[in-house]
Chain A
């Protein structure tokens, strides 16, 4: 059983560009959460998707948006990239919004 997978593993973009990160949840999981981990910080919650709807959102600007597909996979989109968006982006899945979250290995984004 494959766990949570994310793609790509690394990405380099320039300021102002847009980026899409992808996540496939663990088999049987229907809820996907996205986190941003900046250097020296703990993971910060971006948003959570359940049944293709954004269920909760953290304190991130509208430049951060997402989507969940009928197969429960998810995308995180960031528009108008800033240098400060450079971070590790983690995806986590669970079998319900109050259940233990299982994390992917993350996508490391560098904005130049």
Chain B
């Protein structure tokens, strides 16, 4: 994988459903993987910075896992709420080069 790829591109879920999406990134020269949440008309907000293989981070109902050997990270949202509606961006960080972003996953939570 040469680029950062996110799937799915968009997602519609019902309030209360749990959901997850994927970020795939180059596994060579890995330093860190960043997740951002971006609500419409607001600034992207940093969610997690993940560095270690097998790392799992949690913030409220949102958690993320990291596999640096195969180059992927999953973001999970448990019991989705309408306020979780946003675009979720991931970015690959090689340490001494600029962040490389995926195109994002647009999540819509329907009440």
A residues engaging B (CB < 8 A)? 3-4, 33, 35, 40-45, 48, 56, 58, 90, 98, 100-106
Given A98-B95, A100-B34, A105-B41, A43 contacting B101 (CB threshold 8 A): yes
Asked whether B43 lies within 8 Å of A104 as measured between CB atoms, the reply is yes
Interface: B60 (CB within 8 A) = no
B110 at the interface (CB under 8 A from A): no
How many residue pairs at the A-B interface have CB separations less than 8 Å? 45
Which residues of the other chain, A, contact B31 by a CB distance below 8 angstroms? 98
Q: Which residue of B lies closest to A9 (CB)?
A: B41
Residue pair B43, A33 in contact (C-beta under 8 Å): no
CB pairs A–B below 8 angstroms (23 shown): A4-B43, A33-B98, A33-B99, A35-B101, A40-B103, A41-B103, A42-B4, A42-B102, A42-B103, A43-B89, A43-B101, A98-B31, A98-B95, A100-B46, A101-B34, A101-B46, A101-B99, A102-B43, A102-B46, A103-B36, A103-B43, A103-B44, A104-B43
Q: Is the CB of A3 within 8 A of B98?
A: no
Q: How large is the interface on B (under 10, 10 to 19, 20 to 34, 35 or more residues)?
A: 20 to 34
Residues of A within 8 A of B34 (CB): 100-101
Question: Which residues of chain B are near A105, meaning CB under 8 Å?
Answer: 41-43
Check B43 against A45 for contact (C-beta < 8 Å): no
Beyond A33-B98, A40-B103, A102-B46, list 15 extra A-B contacts (CB 8 Å). A3-B43, A4-B43, A33-B99, A42-B4, A42-B103, A43-B89, A56-B98, A58-B98, A90-B44, A100-B34, A100-B49, A101-B99, A102-B43, A103-B43, A106-B43
